[in-house]
Amino acid sequence: MAPKKDYKNIELPPKYIPKKSEPYMCPEHLAYFYQLLSAQKQELESDATSMLNSVRLADQTDTGSVGDDTDNASMEEEITKNLRMQQRDNNMMKKINAALDRIADGTYGYSVVSGEEIGLQRMLARPLATMTIEEQEEHEQKE
């Protein structure tokens, strides 16, 4: 029996997209999603670093309410917006890490509820999906 290909070391052709004609979540599919999710994770990490640097710069240049009330309100609004964006990015990072964990343990692409295949089209549309469309709809109706 040939050793199973390691999805982390597969070099995919440029513009490769998983096909239904390939076995579901074969090493090439896993490599595709691993690379896609890893790139998204790297982008979020880069965004977090640049946001942190801009907050530090603003903190260093802020000498404590030098501007008028409008300037201070604008600065507070900007800080609040940045905090909301950071929280959203943190939530996205958790989902990406969970998806990467599922790739590693062999459960990626399968429902966390039923264990059924989520389906390639759905995974391509929503790489972070954890349920089939039907399960997701049922889940949303319960909420």
From first to last of the 143 residues of the chain, give the pLDDT tens digit. Answer: 344 568 999 999 999 999 999 999 999 999 999 999 999 999 998 877 666 666 666 655 554 555 677 877 787 787 788 788 888 999 999 999 999 999 999 999 999 999 999 999 999 999 999 999 999 999 999 98
For residues 39 and 102, is the Cβ–Cβ distance under 8 A?
no
Instruction: Using alpha carbons, list the distances in angstroms from residue 46 to 41, 43, 79.
Output: 9, 5, 19
Q: How far apart are CA 7 and CA 50, in angstroms?
A: 31
Q: How far apart are CA 131 and CA 95, in angstroms?
A: 13
Burial of 16 (0-12, 13-18, 19+ CB in 10 A): middle
For residues 101 and 122, is the Cβ–Cβ distance under 8 A?
no
Could you tell me where the beta strands, DSSP code E, fall in the chain? none
| Segment (H or E) for 82 | helix 69-105
